[in-house]
Amino acid sequence: MSDTRRTTTGERFGTGRGEGGEERLKVAVVVASTREGRFAPTIADWFTGLAAQRPDVDVDVVDLAEARLPDALSRQPGPEVGALSPRLEAADAFVVITPEYNHSFPASLKTAIDWHYTQWRAKPVGFVSYGGLSGGLRAVEHLRQVFAELHAVTVRDTVSFHGVWDCFDASGEPTDPTGPETAAKTMLDQLGWWGRTLRDGKTARPYAA
C-alpha cells in the first residue's frame, strides 16, 4: 500500500490504494479565487492538509490563479485549457473552494467550468466556502444549479467559514478547529460514497447524458 499523498498544481494523481486494497478516490481541489491578496491559499492549505491525511483519497490541487485560463470562450482552447483538462478528466470527484463575490461565485470559476463539460459529468462535487456573514453559502447555492446542468452531483453538506478573517490564526490554522474539521469529515465522507458509487457505476455501465 502506498502512502497517502497530496499533489500540487502541475502534478498528477498518484496510483496508490487505500486500506483494504481499494483504489483511492482521486479528488481535484479547485481553488476558485484569483484575486491579488486572496485568502484562498490559507483555506486551501488547511483543507488539503486534512484531506491528505485520509487513507482513501488522493488530492490534486488545481489553483485557477496558476491555470490562467482565457476568458473568451469563443476562441480555440489554448495550452492553458489543454493543461487543465486532463487533470479534471482524471478526477473521480471535486471539491471547490470558493469565496462569495456579490452574492455569487467568482468569474474565474465560471470560466473554468464553462471551458469543460464531460470532465464534470457524473462526478460528485463538494464545497468549501468562505466570506462574511453568509460564509459563501450563496455562492454554493448558485454553483449547485450550474453543476446540475453539467450532470454533476453536488453533495449536501458543506464546509463554510463565516467572518473568515477571524476564523484563522497567524499560522493559518483555524482558531476553533472542531467545527470545521467535523464538517470537512462529513463532506468528504459523502463525497467518497458518491465518488466510488459513480465510478463503479460508470465502469459497469457508461453514463448516457
pLDDT digits (tens, 9 = 90+) for 189-198: 999 999 999 9
Q: Average pLDDT for residues 119-131, to the nearest whole number?
A: 98
Residue 181: Cβ within 10 Å count: 14
19-28, 104-113, 145-154, 182-191: segment of lowest average pLDDT: 19-28
Tens digit of each residue's pLDDT (9 = 90 or more) over 49-63: 999 999 999 999 999
Instruction: Please give the model's pTM, rounded to 2 decimal places.
Output: 0.90
